[in-house]
Amino acid sequence: MIILGVDPGLTRCGVGVIEAGASRRLSFIHVDVVRSAPEESQDLRLLTIFNGLSAKMDAFSPDAVSIERVFAQSNRNTVLGTAQAAGLAMLAAAQRGIPVALHTPTEAKLAISGNGKAEKIQMERMVTTILRLNQLPKPADAADALALAICHALRPGGALQGGEREQHLTAAQRQWTTASQKAARSRGVGRGM
């Protein structure tokens, strides 16, 4: 399964692509940042981001797209641009019939490090270790996109199933999976509510 992660942003939109196979470890495929120029008008910046994301999806033909769920921050202009970029990623995926999943930064941090409040450098190091990279992915938007793709692969019901997933998880990731499953059961998920 090919998973394309998107860390949405209007100036820098991180894109990370990994492969999660039946009996393979997670493998790195590609990482990049789609950029738009701040001096351009908003409509042209959005078009640049959309075209860049579309080109990535066409180039890598992902089976799933994992996008960071936008949440309210103190700077409304930042949230607006981030939300617009996330919407463009969803649109590009929908046009191609690719399933989309939204994950919060906390979910990605828990999935990868076992700590929902992990610092950026911790996440970059874990992404580097999990994907067996020779150096930290840069810029941070690129590392975040890879983290979102990894989160999607490792989540309960993700690309790696059952025992296959278990043998590739770190102790922290197993703990996150167990906690997620308990939370889902306590909410009644899967009980035919």
* Active site amino acids: 7, 68, 141
Q: Does the annotation place 141 within a ligand binding site?
A: yes
Please check whether residue 103 is in contact with residue 151, taking contact to mean a CB–CB distance below 8 angstroms. Answer: yes
Q: Does the annotation place 63 within a ligand binding site?
A: no
**Tokens describing residue 127:** 């992404």
Strands of 12-19's sheet, edge to edge?
A: 27-35, 12-19, 2-7, 64-68, 100-103
Distances (CA, A) of 178 to 112, 147, 159, 171, 173: 14, 19, 17, 11, 9
**Tokens describing residue 6:** 């998107």
Q: Does the annotation place 68 within a ligand binding site?
A: yes
Q: Which residues are annotated as a binding site for Mg(2+)?
A: 7, 68, 141
Annotated binding-site members: 7, 68, 141
